[in-house]
Amino acid sequence: AVELKPGVEEVLEELTRRGIVNSIASRNDREPAIAALERLGVEGYFVAPRIDHSPKPDNLREIAQVLNLSLDSLAFIDNDPFERAAVTFTYPDVTVIEAEEYPRLPTMPGFDAGSGTAESRARAKSYHEEARRREAEDAFAGTRLEFLKSCEIELQVRLAERWDIARIVELAERTNQFNSSGLRYSAEDVDSILRDPGSTAIVANLSDRFGDAGLIGAMIMRRADKHCLVESLMVSCRVDGRGVPSALLVLALRLTRSERVSSLFARYNANERNRRLAFLYQMMGFLPTKADGSLWSFDVVGEPLPQVPEWLTLVGAMPELKA
């Protein structure tokens, strides 16, 4: 019978603690393979496994799509030189590692991400919930909008506290698709923002009928004499498609109006991964104020404010939520 090699479960546990999601791309019959993983007690460590007789590069692409990750964020670990070569040839951006190197994984570059926050530790659980959400949507007979409304999505927002610092730093480091500025903040940077009366840091937790995704977003704003600025908007790709970035921008607009200043500016440092944010700014009525598109603005005095997506409920103790 197949047995685990020494230290494998400890490595899986440590990677999971850091928020590194593990999956499987295997050429095998699915049911016996899943049964073996259950017998060994490690089935719960793996999210969206692809176990069939398809080429492993194809399975890697499917895993990346299900997890909403770019291929260059994947590492492929395999004992077969042919499979490793096939992945390298097909997807040069994927990190490829020989299987016998598994004890060294926690010390390798790229595997030290994550600061052990509650959200990091629960990341695999969150992806399992996402798999259930996708299955429910596939089986849903109505429209996409009707499905989203049925999910009972709630976004709870509040002012950040000192105990949120590690998670804000982590979001700045790890979010790419929905990171408006690309700025990386140290713990000292965030602590300074929390102490600055001219700055506002907001954090957001998302939950729905499938589970609680935890603290999945943060927004840092600065106040000037005649305007406010969204310096950074950061949202985890795990909650893609649920309207979180637009809801946070609506909140930013309401906060700006409550400050009795005329305009909200928003930074945007474009890269290959975050292009959708430019479309979001445009869709919500922001206008580019620089030729390179690095700054957008909204006239909160002259223009009606957009609304929170109709399938999402924005909650919290902030007065602007009732605007």
Residue position matching structure tokens 């997807």: 91
Predicted pLDDT at 323: 59
Is 80 exceeded by the pLDDT of residue 51? yes
pLDDT per position as a tens digit, 131-146:
778 888 888 989 999 9
Residues 67 and 47: beta-carbon distance below 8 Å: yes
Q: What is the pTM of this model?
A: 0.77
Q: How confident is the model at residue 116 (pLDDT cuts 50, 70, 90)?
A: low
Predicted pLDDT at 81: 92
Q: Which of 82, 155, 132, 129 is nearest to 321 (CA)?
A: 155
pLDDT per position as a tens digit, 268-311:
999 888 989 999 999 999 999 988 889 999 999 988 999 999 99
Range scoring the smallest mean pLDDT among 115-124, 159-168, 219-228, 314-323 = 115-124
pLDDT per position as a tens digit, 54-77:
999 999 999 888 887 888 889 999
Is 90 exceeded by the pLDDT of residue 24? yes
Residues 294 and 269: beta-carbon distance below 8 Å: yes
Helical axes 187-195 vs 165-174, angle rounded to 10°: 120
**Mean pLDDT for the chain?**
90
How many whole angstroms separate alpha carbon 64 and alpha carbon 138? 19
The residue type of 279 is: F
Predicted pLDDT at 69: 80
Tokens of 290: 């620089």
Q: Which residues contact 323 (CB under 8 A, 6 or more apart)?
A: 254, 257, 258, 305
